[in-house]
């Protein structure tokens, strides 16, 4: 079943519109396209308005994690039985928030139920780069050898290194 989500103004609409034909599990509609007045309402009022709208909204997608700490917003969320998707820890980076949403959206759509409210908090952990030598050591352990031997057996010689595969 294709889901219907309202999208707050923090998601770059040109990107979402450009990918719309590939987002098969949901229709993502910016609040201003639903009704321009939605952009001026409190978050709980937005959810209430979606609940009263002629279309059957599954939920609201936002970057406003503060909603999760507001009792009125949570109470209205539970009363309306909407799904709230919060792209948390994306800071003020709309591209990161959109990427998080697109990565999680298929699973969210599969598990969204109209009979009960849900909160999906999307996170992306910023991690340091991995050391390729550590990866070689892990691979060597799986092959019952040492990283040095595995590297020596697979590295290119100087002639191979000078050859341009495109040349």
pLDDT digits (tens, 9 = 90+) for 110-138: 999 989 999 999 988 778 889 999 999 99
Top pLDDT among 89 and 143 is at 143
The pLDDT of 60-88, averaged and rounded, is 95
Q: Is the pLDDT of residue 90 over 70?
A: no
Pick the more confident residue, 57 or 1. 57
Residues of the chain with pLDDT > 90: what percent? 86
Question: What percent of the chain is modeled with pLDDT above 70?
Answer: 98
Q: Where are the domains of the chain?
A: 3-122, 132-162
What pLDDT, on the 0 to 100 scale, is given for residue 161? 94
| 85 phi/psi in degrees, rounded to 5 | -110, 120
**Which pLDDT belongs to residue 62?**
95
Confidence of residue 88 (pLDDT cuts 50, 70, 90): confident
Query: For the domain 3-122, what is the CATH code?
Result: 3.40.50
CB-based contacts of 83, cutoff 8 Å, min separation 6: 5, 58, 59, 60, 108, 112, 117, 118, 119, 120
Provide the whole-model pTM: 0.82
Q: Chain centroid to CA 96: how far?
A: 8
Quick one: average pLDDT of 9-29?
93
């Amino acid at each position: 079943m294709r889901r219907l989500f309202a999208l707050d103004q923090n998601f770059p609409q040109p990107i979402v519109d450009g990918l719309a034909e590939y987002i098969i599990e949901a229709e993502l509609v910016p609040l201003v396209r639903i009704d321009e007045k939605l952009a001026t309402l409190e978050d709980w009022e937005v959810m209430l308005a979606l609940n009263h709208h002629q279309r059957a909204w599954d939920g609201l997608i936002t970057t406003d994690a503060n909603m999760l700490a507001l009792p009125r917003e949570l109470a209205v969320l539970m009363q309306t039985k909407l799904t709230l998707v919060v792209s948390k820890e994306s800071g003020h980076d709309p591209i990161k928030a959109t990427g998080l949403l697109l990565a999680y959206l298929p699973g969210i759509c599969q598990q969204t139920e109209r009979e009960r409210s849900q909160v999906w908090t999307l996170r992306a952990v910023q991690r340091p780069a991995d050391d390729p030598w550590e990866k070689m050591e892990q691979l060597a352990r799986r092959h019952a050898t040492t990283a040095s031997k595995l590297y020596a057996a697979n590295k290119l010689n100087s002639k191979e290194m000078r050859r341009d595969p495109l040349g």
